[in-house]
Amino acid sequence: MTTLDIVANAQRMVAPGKGILAADESTGTIQKRLDSIDVPSTEESRRDYRQLLFTTAGAEAQISGVILYDETLRQSGSDGVPFSKLLWDKGILPGIKVDAGAKDLAGSRDEKVTEGLDGLRERLAEYVELGAAFTKWRAVIEIGASMPSRACLEANAHALARYAALSQEAGLVPIVEPEVLMDGGHDIERCAEVTEAALQLTFRELFKQNVVLEGMVLKPNMVVPGKSCEKQNSVREVAQMTVKILRRHVPSAVPGIAFLSGGQSEVEATAHLNEMNCLGAMPWELSFSYGRALQASALQAWRGKAENVPAAQAAFAHRAKMNGLARHGEYDSSMEPDAA
């Protein structure tokens, strides 16, 4: 695949009105999701759950791509059609999470660095054969009394850049995800400070590794106060602070920014995205790459029962539609089914 193809796919991933479904939960994480609805986590139950999401009628109107886990990319639906082919046939790009998770950073007691670069070139070649069009790598940055350290930020930025360069070499669009976690009691200003540092170092490293910015998608956190912070800022304040930081540090060559939801509720994540898209013209598309914020209602509606699939798909279709509207700044909370 040429650079032109990578650029075209990156633009397709952040097409107006569309966003990305993050369905790349690890086996351990998806087990927690299924435990919450009293469904045993088996290969079959995991397949059935992902299948109901992927086969939702009309979802392709708002979903441009789906991030898959290694197991899921290798799976087929109950009709024998590989999930990657099912998605391609619907006009949705299949992607794959390629990092090996956040591990303890040597020399630091509490910080993490994401691993998975060893053997990545060979794995990427296999994922291309399995039908993937893009990749994802997540860095985890925690805010604490003396965190993050410069060493943590630099190590994660370097790994993100090396991963992105390898992905583009393989003809795949990299989603670059430097996530500043919501956990903690820090205020929005502290989140802004750390997010700025993470973005600044990440783009410095991307430049060093000759990553084509037009052929990547950034997946950052929104700038929000910690979950246990006494002051929780308004939707407007979060939107303004987030856009302010992005304008400072994200080059306009990047085609789109697909936010992670980071533990926000479905409605919160949609409202924040909508507000940002109400702030006027941006140099990049402001999109979404949500996991729980697209799936939570669908999971609760499904509860592992075949007869509940239509209700679960309706819940997923609704969330996709709400976020599609938020991409144009046209969402309103009165559109929610439980609105007063």
State the pLDDT at residue 339.
Answer: 63
State the pLDDT at residue 151.
Answer: 97
State the pLDDT at residue 114.
Answer: 98
State the pLDDT at residue 273.
Answer: 98
Give the dihedral sign, CA 207/212/213/216: negative
Residue that the structure tokens 């304008």 belong to: 247
Write the CB contacts of 336 (distance below 8 Å, at least 6 apart in sequence).
267, 322
310-331 confidence digits (pLDDT tens): 999 999 999 999 999 999 999 9
Give the C-alpha separation, 125 to 119, whole Å: 10
Q: Is residue 234 within 8 Å of 208, Cβ to Cβ?
A: no
State the pLDDT at residue 160.
Answer: 98
Amino acid at position 268, single letter: E
111, 177, 205, 275: the catalytic one is 177
State the pLDDT at residue 137.
Answer: 98
State the pLDDT at residue 113.
Answer: 98
Residue 220 burial (10 A CB sphere; 0-12, 13-18, 19+): buried
Peptide bond into 148 cis (omega under 30): yes
Residue 121, token pair as written in the block? 């070139």
Give the DSSP per-residue string, 245-271. Answer: HHHHHS-TTS-EEEE--TT--HHHHHH
Active site residue 177: yes
154-187 confidence digits (pLDDT tens): 999 999 999 999 999 999 999 999 999 999 999 9
Beta strands in the chain (DSSP E): 19-23, 63-68, 93-97, 102-104, 112-114, 134-141, 173-180, 217-218, 256-259, 285-290
Q: How is the chain split into domains, by residue range?
A: 3-335
Q: Is residue 79 within 8 Å of 68, Cβ to Cβ?
A: no
Q: Is residue 289 within 8 Å of 340, Cβ to Cβ?
A: no
Q: What is the pTM of this model?
A: 0.97
Residue 126, token pair as written in the block? 């296999």
State the pLDDT at residue 3.
Answer: 85
DSSP 315: H
Residue 70, token pair as written in the block? 């290694």
Backbone angles phi, psi at 285, to 5 degrees: -70, 140
State the pLDDT at residue 193.
Answer: 97
Lowest mean pLDDT among 25-29, 121-125, 241-245, 294-298: 25-29
How big is the CA angle at 91 (ends 321 and 52), to the nearest 5 degrees?
60
Q: What is the CATH number of domain 3-335?
A: 3.20.20.70
25, 111, 219, 285: the catalytic one is 219
Backbone angles phi, psi at 96, to 5 degrees: -145, 130
CB atoms closer than 10 angstroms to residue 336 = 15
| Of residues 135, 191, 182, the one with CA closest to residue 9 | 135
Give the C-alpha separation, 86 to 284, whole Å: 29
Q: What is the mean pLDDT of residues 126-137?
A: 98
Q: Is residue 41 within 8 Å of 30, Cβ to Cβ?
A: yes
Q: Classify 95 as helix, strand or coil.
A: strand
Position 340 pLDDT exceeds 80:
no
Q: What is the mean pLDDT of residues 262-287?
A: 96
Active site residue 219: yes
Give the C-alpha separation, 90 to 64, whole Å: 10
Q: Is residue 201 within 8 Å of 195, Cβ to Cβ?
A: no
State the pLDDT at residue 295.
Answer: 97
> What percent of the chain stands above pLDDT 70?
99
43-102 confidence digits (pLDDT tens): 999 999 999 999 999 999 999 999 999 999 999 999 999 999 999 999 999 999 999 999
| Of residues 176, 182, 173, 169, the one with CA closest to residue 257 | 176
